[in-house]
Amino acid sequence: MPPAQSAFFFIADISGYTRYLTESELEHAQGILTTLLELLVEHTRPPLVVSELEGDAVFSYGRADNFLLGQTFVEKIERTYIAFRRAIESMVLNNSCKCRACANIGNLDLKFFVHYGTASLQRVGEHEKLVGSDVIVVHRLLKNHVIEQTGIRAYCLYTDAAVQQLGLGELLSGFTEHSETYEHLGEVKVWVQDMHPVWEHERNTHTIEIAPGQVALRLVTEIALPPEVVWDYMSRPEFLQTLYAAAQPVTVKGPTGRVGSGHVYQCYHGDHLLPITIMEWRPLQRLLTHGLMPIPIPNTYALVDCSLEPTAAGTRLTQVFTKATSGPWLGRQMISLMLPLMSKTAQRDLDKFKQQVEDDFAARFGVRAPVAVMA
């Protein structure tokens, strides 16, 4: 058996599965549950890899040596929950069938479990299986008292070991501290994030639209990595420096905790500090900023929109610079004239970001394609 390796263990578990299956017409119920499980598998992307499908749950893992930033992983889980709730809502709204299986779709929900520890891959015939005490821990956590003691019905449960390894300390303000006790394992300290507010916030968030006539420059590059990984790089100061063509690593100012809308990037162009405010932070999808432009005319502002779109080969990163949104007349005119003339330089900077990201990923993993398996 190969030596044990450090890893994160992740379970996405459909709530209400047993009751739904027993109280519904089997044919329709199985089709609906298959669709939801396929959605969960689809959202299990590197650095996670699916280990097993366990009836109503998907069990996956990811090597700990080169994992996502803590906030990125939290956001990845939130996006999975949002996709799940959208699927449920769509089924409810677009289904005219009166059978119990279709009528009860809305009763299904989702829970997540995240643990950090060690495990080995055990080969039995043609199959490989994760084994180790920490694999047992994350599965034991499926049976818990979270709902009874906290009232939270859809949640992500992080063990303290996972919290410490992910460095989530400043992100725990909205989490609920909890503990479970199991025979042979003792007390397991956990942190519980309520997922319903995540869905409600998504439903009430309005996207800032950029009119076609406001676009001054549009650039595109293709990165051979999934959106989760590209977004993770976009959250790292040394890579933001390349993305924004800054003179030094970009720093962030704002309230402690999660970086998001309202935080300000401190971005230097030459010796000049150009603060850039995050206007829209949609994890794995869009980073929209509003800031001073690096031109001789002061107080001239514009929007920069970086959006991610999954493709068959990885991720399409589109960067849009708008015409000036405010500032002196001369500054606004200069932006409109200057940006189209800078298209080659700006495209070179964007392609440099792509190359830096792909090269760094290859250096960390030894390959130029996403991997998460344990050797």
What are 79-136's pLDDT values in tens digits? 999 999 999 998 888 776 667 667 678 889 999 999 999 999 887 776 678 999 999 9
- Gap between the Cα atoms of 357 and 360, Å rounded: 5
Indicate if 104 and 159 belong to the same structural domain: yes
Q: Is the pLDDT of residue 25 over 80?
A: no
Indicate if 311 and 351 belong to the same structural domain: yes
Q: Which range of residues forms the domain containing residue 90? A: 5-202
For residue 375, is it within any domain? Answer: no
pLDDT of residue 375: 46
In terms of pLDDT, which residue wins out, 144 or 93? Answer: 144
Indicate if 187 and 238 belong to the same structural domain: no
Q: Is the pLDDT of residue 371 over 60?
A: no
For residue 372, is it within any domain? Answer: no
Q: Which of 146, 177, 202 is the last residue of a domain?
A: 202
Indicate if 216 and 126 belong to the same structural domain: no
Please tell me whether the peptide bond between 3 and the residue prior to it is cis, using omega within 30 degrees of 0.
no
Indicate if 103 and 18 belong to the same structural domain: yes
* Cα 104 off chain centre by: 29
Indicate if 265 and 195 belong to the same structural domain: no
For residue 287, is it within any domain? Answer: yes
- Gap between the Cα atoms of 319 and 223, Å rounded: 13
pLDDT of residue 96: 65
Indicate if 180 and 234 belong to the same structural domain: no
357: confidence class by pLDDT, cuts 50, 70, 90: very high
For residue 306, is it within any domain? Answer: yes
User: What tokens does 267 get?
Assistant: 């971005």
Residues 326-347 pLDDT 10s:
999 999 999 989 988 989 999 9
For residue 349, is it within any domain? Answer: yes
For residue 169, is it within any domain? Answer: yes
pLDDT of residue 373: 47
Those residues with Cβ within 8 angstroms of residue 239's Cβ, 6 or more apart along the chain or in another chain: 233, 353, 356, 357, 360
Q: Which of 202, 225, 242 is the last residue of a domain?
A: 202
- Bin 132: left if φ > 0, else alpha if -120 < ψ < 50, else beta: left
pLDDT of residue 369: 64
Indicate if 109 and 172 belong to the same structural domain: yes
Indicate if 144 and 185 belong to the same structural domain: yes
Question: HEC states along the chain?
Answer: CCCCEEEEEEEEEEECHHHHHHCCCHHHHHHHHHHHHHHHHHCCCCCCEEEEECCCEEEEEEECCCCCCHHHHHHHHHHHHHHHHHHHHHHHHHCCCCCHHHHCHHHCEEEEEEEEEEEEEEEECCEEEEECHHHHHHHHCCCCCHHHHHCCCCEEEEEHHHHHHHCCHHHHHHCEEEEEEECCCEEEEEEEEECHHHHHHHHCCCCCCCCHHHEEEEEEEEECCCHHHHHHHHCCHHHHHHHCCCCCCCEEECCCCCCCCCCEEEEEECCEEEEEEEEEEECCCEEEEEEECCCCCCCCEEEEEEEEEEECCEEEEEEEEECCCECCHHHHHHHHHHHHHCHHHHHHHHHHHHHHHHHHHHHHHCCCCCCCCCC
Cα angle, residue 18 at apex, residues 14 and 22 outer, rounded to 5°: 140
For residue 143, is it within any domain? Answer: yes
In terms of pLDDT, which residue wins out, 185 or 165? Answer: 165
pLDDT of residue 122: 84
Residues 268-321 pLDDT 10s:
888 888 899 999 999 999 999 999 988 888 899 999 999 999 999 999 999 999
Could you identify the residue written with the tokens 């009874």? 148
Kindly report the CATH number assigned to the domain that includes residue 322: 3.30.530.20
What's this model's pTM, rounded to 2 decimal places? 0.91
The whole-number average pLDDT for the span 191-207 is 95
Indicate if 198 and 211 belong to the same structural domain: no
**Average pLDDT score over the chain:** 90
The whole-number average pLDDT for the span 236-262 is 90
Indicate if 231 and 168 belong to the same structural domain: no
23: confidence class by pLDDT, cuts 50, 70, 90: low
Indicate if 196 and 339 belong to the same structural domain: no
Tell me which range, 24-33, 42-51, 112-121, 366-375, is most confidently predicted by mean pLDDT: 112-121
| Domains identified in the chain, total number | 2
Kindly report the CATH number assigned to the domain that includes residue 83: 3.30.70.1230
What are the residues facing 222 on neighbouring strands?
316
For residue 13, is it within any domain? Answer: yes
Q: Which of 168, 202, 236 is the last residue of a domain?
A: 202
